Amino acid sequence: MSASIPLWLVPALPLAGFLVNGFLGKRLGKSFVSAVGVGAVGLATAAAYARLVPFFAGDHSAVVERIAPWFSAGGFSAEIAMRLDPLSALMTSFVTFVGFWIHVYSVGYMRHDETEAGYARYFAYLNLFMFAMLILVLAQNFVLMFVGWEGVGLCSYLLIGYYYERQYAADAGKKAFVVNRIGDFGFLLGMFGLFSLFSSLDFDRVFTAAAADPGKYAPYLTLVCLCLFLGAVGKSAQVPLFVWLPDAMAGPTPVSALIHAATMVTAGVYMVARCNVLFRLAPEAMAAVAVVGAVTAIFAGIIAVAQNDIKKVLAYSTVSQLGYMFLACGVGAYVAGMFHVLTHAFFKACLFLGSGSVIHAMGGEQDMRRMGGLRSKLPITYWTFLIATLAIAGIPPLAGFFSKDAILGSVFEHGQYVLWGLALFTAGLTAFYMFRLVSLTFEGSFRGTPEQEHHLHESPPSMTAPLVVLAILSFVGGWIGLPRVFGENLDRFTAFLSPILLPLASAAERAEPGLSHGAEWLLMGVSVAAAVAGLLLARSWYVRGQGRVPDRIAASFPAAYALLAEKFRVDELYGLLFVRPFDWLARMLWKVVDVLVIDGILNAGAFLVELVGDLLRFLQTGNVRNYALSLFLGLIALMLFVIGAV
């Protein structure tokens, strides 16, 4: 297939936008910056779709475009090459699309509260993020992928700390960076391992070699995959490295939507799916992925129940949903995992943008206890938010239902009943806390100040338009992957991805339909029931009961509630376990090693020099004749030496 538009153009356009806005933005004015920022991503989206539409419609075989050799050292070489295959096509499609709409949204959201310099900086970073994310997604080898990986991490750091004059935002950025470094370290180790095993970091060569001779590499791959998974855990905020994501909400809300919900955090899932060939050969690593995913899902879900900050709830929800995705990957259902990545991108972006709209209307207020009754004031926001909530809760026929059902079905199918139980409970939990959020925010009566009430207004079209678009996709997005029970050939999503994401060998060996139609219907019913149960409970407690029941529960179990409200005190635990010891260690290094040892050696050296100088300076008589004499004595010594030598 001859490509009219080269792949490199897709990341290059946002890069150009970044360069223009980053270097000239300050002087160009907000309108120009918006045009460049949104235009660059819009063009990139258009370029991407110009490639993707024929790709989706026609031949699905992978295309690799080699752009330039990058560097070469010894036996190692890396090149700048881009890959278009179903997996990267899927990622590119929603990254560009969602990214574009979030850029549009940002124009409305950031317009009023920032200086021209800050505005330009914001769009520059956002464009840079798009560039890095697309590099990550389109890379043909691990090295280039790592560039994108680090690039998105950098942009995440920059954008979390966007309000850098506020201490908590700067701290949050730092925290995200440090925690991500741990994961990146794992990723690097994994890359080193891969290179030592395969002498290459090119996707094709690594995966072909691994698939060709599984027995040879399998023993080492467990460790390598665990290392790679550590990278995914960091980037995708899984237990135990999830702590940075809730704090990352310190950044502007569109950033939370784009980076910390829809795209960057799913990079870990993407990476695991990309390496499915390797993970498949390492069952222990797969098990770890599944367990971590399930634990994260339920752990974050529980925390979300007790949060009052609207963005924090969504953040924990994101962590929880990411756990779902890893759970799917862990049981080998990579397609289901990627399906959830896709639908999650739509509804979670929609939810974040909706929350942004609410915060915008409330003049920066994020505490749900001061909201309520916004339904009539923000109708578009309310309805789009409701649709996205139903989607995440897993109510059919919305997008979330299908992806979540696919995951649950796969888990059950693989006989992981404990994990299935956890996942099912999480599904109910999800519905509960999401409806708690909707109820507290939009239902009932307004609980904020009169000032805020007076200020309430629907957001401008630039913000509502993305909401509507994403809500529609949250509604219909799941229909590309209907389960088998609706008909044999309706699951186009699986068909599209299966050349890349083969089901587990063990599952493939088993009889083709793992579950009977009846069992599948039953499972579907159970998950829907769990969702509805959570939904109804939340409505009854928070809409009709005005929140009295939860208050009573909280009063009855103060310790448990406090624990929950304080997010299981994970941060404090980490503080105790890691931060304090490191702090102490650093202090020791400073006070003992640096001040006493190093400075001591230095000062001792200086003192010695001074001492010797003090003694030797008496040779410095200032009398030229003494110098001449010593010169002469040296000459005699030299002569004696020469004579002796001859």
- Specify the residue, 573 or 628, whose C-beta has the smaller distance to another protein: 628
- Specify the residue, 415 or 613, whose C-beta has the smaller distance to another protein: 613
The least distance separating another protein from the CB of residue 603, rounded to whole angstroms, comes to 23
- Specify the residue, 559 or 643, whose C-beta has the smaller distance to another protein: 643
The least distance separating another protein from the CB of residue 616, rounded to whole angstroms, comes to 9
- Is residue 240 reached through a cis peptide bond, with omega within 30 degrees of 0 on the bond before it? yes
**137: closest CA among 182, 84, 215?**
84
- Specify the residue, 454 or 617, whose C-beta has the smaller distance to another protein: 617
Point out which residues pair with 72 in neighbouring strands: 77
The least distance separating another protein from the CB of residue 151, rounded to whole angstroms, comes to 58
The least distance separating another protein from the CB of residue 618, rounded to whole angstroms, comes to 6
- Specify the residue, 75 or 644, whose C-beta has the smaller distance to another protein: 644
Reported in sequence order, the residue ranges of 460-499 that DSSP labels E, i.e. its strands, are none
Phi, psi for 233 (deg, rounded to 5): -60, -45
- Specify the residue, 555 or 615, whose C-beta has the smaller distance to another protein: 615
Helix axes 283-305, 214-235, angle to 10 degrees: 20
Max Cα distance, the chain (Å): 113
The least distance separating another protein from the CB of residue 643, rounded to whole angstroms, comes to 7
The least distance separating another protein from the CB of residue 614, rounded to whole angstroms, comes to 9
Region near another protein per CB under 8 A, out of 303-311, 413-421, 433-441, 637-645? 637-645
Residues 610-629 that bind another protein (CB under 8 A): 617-618, 620-626, 628-629
- Specify the residue, 505 or 629, whose C-beta has the smaller distance to another protein: 629
Among 511, 555, 636, 645, binds another protein (CB under 8 A): 636
Region near another protein per CB under 8 A, out of 62-70, 128-136, 363-371, 633-641? 633-641
Q: Calculate the CA dihedral of residues 602, 607, 609, 612 and round it to 10 degrees.
A: -160
The least distance separating another protein from the CB of residue 611, rounded to whole angstroms, comes to 14
- How many residues would you count in the chain? 646
CA-CA distance, 140 to 77, in Å (whole number)?
A: 13
Among 208, 572, 633, 641, binds another protein (CB under 8 A): 633
The least distance separating another protein from the CB of residue 620, rounded to whole angstroms, comes to 5
Q: Which helix (H) or strand (E) holds 43?
A: helix 30-57
For another protein (CB under 8 A), the number of binding residues is: 18
The least distance separating another protein from the CB of residue 595, rounded to whole angstroms, comes to 33
Residues 245-274 that bind another protein (CB under 8 A): none
* Rg from Cα positions in the chain: 30
DSSP codes joined into one string, 541-561: IIIISTTHHHHHHHHHSHHHH
- Specify the residue, 522 or 628, whose C-beta has the smaller distance to another protein: 628
- Specify the residue, 595 or 633, whose C-beta has the smaller distance to another protein: 633
- Specify the residue, 68 or 645, whose C-beta has the smaller distance to another protein: 645
| Structure-block tokens of residue 531 | 């969702």
Q: Which residues of 241-260 are buried (b: 16+ CB within 10 A; e: fewer)?
A: bbbbbbbbbbbbbbbbbbbb
Q: Contact 404/427 with Cβ under 8 angstroms?
A: yes
Among 521, 581, 635, 641, binds another protein (CB under 8 A): 635
- Is residue 499 reached through a cis peptide bond, with omega within 30 degrees of 0 on the bond before it? no
- Specify the residue, 192 or 641, whose C-beta has the smaller distance to another protein: 641
The least distance separating another protein from the CB of residue 604, rounded to whole angstroms, comes to 23
- Specify the residue, 73 or 624, whose C-beta has the smaller distance to another protein: 624
- Specify the residue, 212 or 636, whose C-beta has the smaller distance to another protein: 636
The least distance separating another protein from the CB of residue 632, rounded to whole angstroms, comes to 6
Among 639, 641, 644, 645, binds another protein (CB under 8 A): 639
> For tokens 């201490």, what's the residue?
167
Point out which residues pair with 80 in neighbouring strands: 68
**281: closest CA among 230, 336, 206?**
206
Residues 285-344 that bind another protein (CB under 8 A): none
Q: Contact 51/5 with Cβ under 8 angstroms?
A: yes
Q: Contact 100/17 with Cβ under 8 angstroms?
A: no
CA-CA distance, 97 to 49, in Å (whole number)?
A: 9
The least distance separating another protein from the CB of residue 608, rounded to whole angstroms, comes to 18
> For tokens 């010593």, what's the residue?
630
| Structure-block tokens of residue 638 | 């030299």
Binding mask 560-599 for another protein (x = CB under 8 A): ----------------------------------------
**245: closest CA among 308, 324, 177?**
177
Q: Contact 427/357 with Cβ under 8 angstroms?
A: no
**158: closest CA among 145, 146, 147, 169?**
169
The least distance separating another protein from the CB of residue 612, rounded to whole angstroms, comes to 13
The least distance separating another protein from the CB of residue 605, rounded to whole angstroms, comes to 22
Phi, psi for 326 (deg, rounded to 5): -65, -35
Phi, psi for 77 (deg, rounded to 5): -145, 150
CA-CA distance, 386 to 366, in Å (whole number)?
A: 18
**317: closest CA among 265, 276, 367?**
265
| Structure-block tokens of residue 304 | 């979300």
| Structure-block tokens of residue 276 | 């499915």
| Binding flag, residue 645, another protein (CB under 8 A) | no
Binding mask 403-432 for another protein (x = CB under 8 A): ------------------------------
**528: closest CA among 424, 395, 431?**
395
The least distance separating another protein from the CB of residue 642, rounded to whole angstroms, comes to 10
Among 487, 643, 644, 645, binds another protein (CB under 8 A): 643
Among 640, 641, 644, 645, binds another protein (CB under 8 A): 640
The least distance separating another protein from the CB of residue 576, rounded to whole angstroms, comes to 60
DSSP codes joined into one string, 432-497: HHHHHHHHHHHSS---S-HHHHHH--PPPHHHHHHHHHHHHHHHHGGGGB--GGG-TT-BHHHHHH
Among 71, 192, 590, 632, binds another protein (CB under 8 A): 632
Region near another protein per CB under 8 A, out of 12-20, 234-242, 424-432, 632-640? 632-640
- Specify the residue, 167 or 630, whose C-beta has the smaller distance to another protein: 630
Residues 478-507 that bind another protein (CB under 8 A): none
Per CB under 8 A, residues contacting another protein are: 617-618, 620-626, 628-629, 632-633, 635-636, 639-640, 643
